[in-house]
Amino acid sequence: MDLAGLQDALGTGEPGYRAVQLYQAIYRERASDLVHISTLPARLREDLSARHRIGLPEIARQYESVDGTRRYLLRLDDGRTVETVLMPEGERDTICISSQVGCPVDCKFCMTALLGLERSLTAGEIVGQVLLVARQNGHVPGRRLNIVMMGQGEPLLNLANVVKATRILLDPAGFGLSPRRITVSTAGIIPQIAELGREPVRPKLAISLNASTEEMRQELMPITRKYHLRDLLDACRAYPLRPWEKLTFEYVLLKDVNDSDADARRVVKLLAHLNAKVNLIALNPGPEIPYQTPAPARVAGFQQILRRSFPCFVRQPRGLDIYAACGQLKKAGAGG
């Protein structure tokens, strides 16, 4: 619930500042139980706890990686499960959250695609992943934290709930994240890209590119048969970036498929005249994926060509041993 929803839950007999107190206690102070919100009168706490609860997901399984990554299989109220990943790194944490149960996009290099789509998450289920993982790991307000919506699902096919969750996560009176610290990743759902750009409060945008030609992109990402590459790039050029912001393009490198020098030169041409950066991801393998990971030297060669034109980074895999890396979230692995 946002502030207006909490005011409705309190009822007309309570002053407006009570909703503000409740909102701050849940999102900023990360209260675990309505009964323990000391800023509210005891009578109101008892009444609220009799009618409502702070509905965080339940941890069904937890997996620990040798590199410190933690993968959580979370059970929702209807019994369905979704995955969330914590990646600690020095003084900064990154939480990778899901926007849907499963995924409808069917990318051929992604294990999550094998699940298909069960349903979209509510705004509460999206925010609840962050609140739960932050609490489990003793994350206090003020510690550097990044949120990436790169778990299960296509966020822009659940845009209303993603935007509502983002408002709560970015609200200084709510969870209190900086807009620079939250990113949503899309396969390229063109109408919703324009819709997201009109939102006054929004995350940063990352586009999954993954190919240098229309034909290859349609083969690797079947949903793009509906959303063509030329139209996607037009939407990216029209997207209203904030003064500090760049568009991020993600490119999963597949051995002998999309990783040649010619591919790299085509990517440079595609992204010319865009205020962009590129994250390269060498394929994170899975037993049901028909592609292989390119050699480090090939990844470096691809990066070198792109870096002549714009910032280009190689994302290091995290949690490979527990199937927590990009494209591996499938409610399995590491004893699952």
Q: What residue has token string 């050029």? A: 237
Report pLDDT digits (tens) over 6-35: 999 898 888 989 999 999 999 998 888 899
Higher pLDDT, 328 or 213: 213
CA distance 60 to 91: 28
- Cβ-contact 308, 316 below 8 angstroms: no
The pLDDT of residue 336 is above 60: no
Report pLDDT digits (tens) over 228-281: 999 999 999 999 999 999 999 999 999 999 999 999 999 999 999 999 999 999
Enumerate the H helices of the chain as residue ranges.
3-10, 16-23, 42-51, 123-136, 159-170, 190-197, 214-220, 229-238, 261-270, 296-307
pTM: 0.92
At residue 224, the pLDDT reads: 85
At residue 216, the pLDDT reads: 96
| Two structure tokens written together for 82 | 């979704």
Tell me, what DSSP letter sits at residue 26? I
The pLDDT of residue 322 is above 60: no
Catalytic positions, please? 83, 326
Mean pLDDT over residues 120-126, rounded? 97
- Cβ-contact 259, 292 below 8 angstroms: no
CA distance 140 to 247: 29
At residue 127, the pLDDT reads: 97
Pairing between β-strand 92-96 and β-strand 144-149 as defined by DSSP bridges: parallel
Pairing between β-strand 182-186 and β-strand 144-149 as defined by DSSP bridges: parallel
CA distance 94 to 61: 19
| Two structure tokens written together for 177 | 């994240």
- Cβ-contact 90, 22 below 8 angstroms: no
Q: How confident is the model at residue 335 (pLDDT cuts 50, 70, 90)?
A: very low
Mean predicted lDDT score pLDDT of the chain: 90
